[in-house]
Amino acid sequence: MAPKIPTVFFKNGSPIPALGLGTWNSPPGQVTQAVKDAIDVGYRHIDCAHVYENEHEVGAGIAAKVAQGNVKREDLFITSKLWNTYHRPDLVKGALQATLRNLNLKYLDLYLIHWPVAYREGDVLFPLRPDGKRVHFSDVDYIETWPAMERLVEAGLVRNIGLSNFNVQQVQRVLDVARIPPATNQIECHPYLHQASLTEFCKRHDVTITAYSPLGSPARPWVKQDDPVLLEDAVVQRLAQKHSKTPAQILIRYQHQLGHVVIPKSVSRQRIASNADVFGFELDAADLQQLAGLERNGRICPESFSFGHPHHPFEAEFRKGRR
């Protein structure tokens, strides 16, 4: 049994478990079991998204555990995300309702705008242009989307709302118009990409950071043979040996000590349990300094399909790092 997972509190006082199960890129047919295994070993936080195309499997796993009496719905914290093709305000509620149907839930604990970029409206997730490399854009501004997100809270369909993959200026624009401020900004975060100025800005404004791809997403579909593997980094390996932990446990613990909610993905019961066994040891100041020193602007989720979009959050930074 995994140790008890600590709780983090959003600015509005809502609790969120500090560790959750990520479900992006989880192979079809394995997600339901992964969710059941995660609940069995102590997870209460599951991170989903419409674009992952596996929310029905997540829902089946949740339903099975609730039916068995292992857990109650109110004990769980379920997150999902509004996809880019549904940014138009009149489409937001319908997109949420589709997610709720897939998950077989009456409400979400957290709903995020997945990216600040809007795609051409419709049910095609990536409405590609003829070149096959970029998508057709929509001119909807996420500032127009935010009030529709707030209405979901007021309707009792969502407990908290937030952002994902928004840069400093974009978070500020939302804060400037929000009646309900974003509870979190879910961003890629690991020792090769700290996004320090963004995380510091969010913390100053009481926007909790949720770290995705904390292990460097070694199984991402577009990985290249010569890409560095964070889990095999010499510093990470040394610290794992020092603390008698796995490299993954070091990386997850690192995010926790940075004050971030962290959502590692796995479909292996053994790894799911191991990933939660990170609350019984501590990285010291020297350990933290070594991991901070691995920064290389190593973004692995650049959302290149939407390069050229006026609201792309980090295209300029991504291109600058590759000059």
CA distance 155 to 196: 35
Residue 284 has pLDDT above 70, yes or no: yes
Kindly indicate the confidence band of residue 323, based on its pLDDT and cuts at 50, 70 and 90. Answer: very low
- Let me know if 192 is a catalytic residue: no
Residue 223 has pLDDT above 80, yes or no: no
Domain ranges in the chain are 16-320
Residue 10 has pLDDT above 90, yes or no: yes
Residue 20 has pLDDT above 50, yes or no: yes
Half-sphere exposure of 246 (CA within 13 A, CB side): 14
3-class SS of residue 22: strand
CA distance 50 to 299: 23
Beta bridge partners of 210: 186, 261
For 110, the enclosing helix (H) or strand (E) is strand 110-113
CATH (residue range 16-320): 3.20.20.100
**Given the residues 52, 111, 119, 212, the one annotated as active site:** 52
pLDDT digits (tens, 9 = 90+) for 55-94: 999 999 999 999 999 999 999 999 999 999 999 999 999 9
pLDDT digits (tens, 9 = 90+) for 142-162: 999 999 999 999 999 999 999
Q: What percent of the chain has pLDDT over 70?
A: 97
CB of 187 closer than 8 Å to CB of 209: yes
Residue 245 has pLDDT above 70, yes or no: yes
Please tell me whether 114 is known to bind a ligand. yes
The mean per-residue pLDDT over the stretch 11-34 comes to 94
